[in-house]
Amino acid sequence: MSGPGKLLEGKKALITGSRRGIGAGIATLFAEHGADVGINDVTRDEEADKTIALVESLGQKASWHQADVGDTDDRTRLLDEFVQQHGRIDILVNNAVASRDMHFTKITEEFWDHLVGHALKGYLFLAQGAATRMIDHGHGGSIINISSVHSFRAWPHDGVYGIVKAGLNRMVQSMAHDLAGTGITANCVAPGYIDSRVLPDHEESSRGDDEYLGGAKSFIPSQRGGLPRDIAGACVFLASELGEYVNGQTITVDGGFLAGGVPPDSMPLEPGMPGAME
């Protein structure tokens, strides 16, 4: 490969919710950088097969782990299976989520329990399980939570999702403290507008284009939608030697979306307004 060379040579990385979308992008870039990867998801389908085949075509081992990160027994089995197959765990990326919007007045306990149980509790206990296994192995490691720009500000109906993502940002601060001296770093990556749609191969070049972005393009200084690979790049950095002094942080990867303050959704930019397209 061209560029900085392989940054994760020999590493063993488990990525949750990685049959498709951002998780698949992380698995693929990790493999390009020399890591063996574990692909986890709730179902195995054509998308999962495609991601596994892609990793293998890059010369790396890909193991498949069907598990629900919201289930206590599944989480333990997932980590045990991964370590059995790879010998150890060096990197965990908590990425899996099925999000839904809900107006504040309509939030039910069931909805709260589901999202918090999967995307906050599930992430915490997977991180704990990975950290204890990394400590036993004695060579440190990297734990990355995929957060969101929704962790920093609100959009309509995003209450529970935003609360969960903000919790992840705070979680890695506590992890950095409590894991001091172990060689384990804990960080979040907060994506902005990322085009994680399933697309046929012949439409891959349209990923993140104007049609996907619509009016949002005028809010994004980088002038394009994000790609799963953009998020994966930040993860590679954090999990590699280059990122080993970054700890307890949340790195925003949004093309500058939040940098200038996002106008409220109710106030679309008109030509001539600051930030509007010419």
Ligand X SMILES: NC(=O)c1ccc[n+]([C@@H]2O[C@H](COP(=O)([O-])OP(=O)(O)OC[C@H]3O[C@@H](n4cnc5c(N)ncnc54)[C@H](O)[C@@H]3O)[C@@H](O)[C@H]2O)c1
Catalytic residues: 161
Among 7, 17, 92, 166, binds ligand X (CB under 6 A): 17
Q: How far is the CB of 180 from ligand X (least distance, A)?
A: 27
Quick one: DSSP state of residue 148?
Answer: -
3-state secondary structure of 175: helix
Closest to ligand X by CB, 196 vs 240, is: 196
User: Whole-angstrom Cα distance, residue 38 to residue 89?
Assistant: 10
Nearer to ligand X, 12 or 207 (CB): 207
Q: In sequence order, what DSSP letters do the residues of 84-146 get, joined into one string?
A: HHHSS--EEEE---------GGG--HHHHHHHHIIIIIHHHHHHHHHHHHHHHHTS-EEEEEE
Residue 141 makes contact with ligand X by CB under 6 A: no
**Of 30, 82, 193, 257, which one interacts with ligand X (CB under 6 A)?**
193
List the one residue from 142, 169, 196, 218 that touches ligand X (CB under 6 A). 196
Smallest distance, ligand X to C-beta of residue 33, A: 19
Phi, psi of 205 (to 5 degrees): -70, -15
Distance between CA atoms of residues 59 and 57, nearest Å: 5
Where in 51-90 is the site for ligand X (CB under 6 A)? 68-70
Name the segment binding ligand X (CB under 6 A); options: 13-21, 52-60, 178-186, 215-223.
13-21
> Scanning residues 90 to 119, which ones bind ligand X (CB under 6 A)?
95-99, 118
- Find where tokens 């890591």 sit: 35
Angstrom distance (rounded) from CA 227 to CA 37: 20
CB atoms inside a 10 Å sphere around CB 186:
27
Stretch that binds ligand X, among 16-24, 206-214, 233-241, 258-266 (CB under 6 A): 16-24
Is residue 19 close enough to count as binding ligand X by CB under 6 A? yes
Residues of this chain that bind ligand X (CB under 6 A): 16-17, 19-23, 40-42, 68-70, 95-99, 118, 146, 148, 191, 193-194, 196
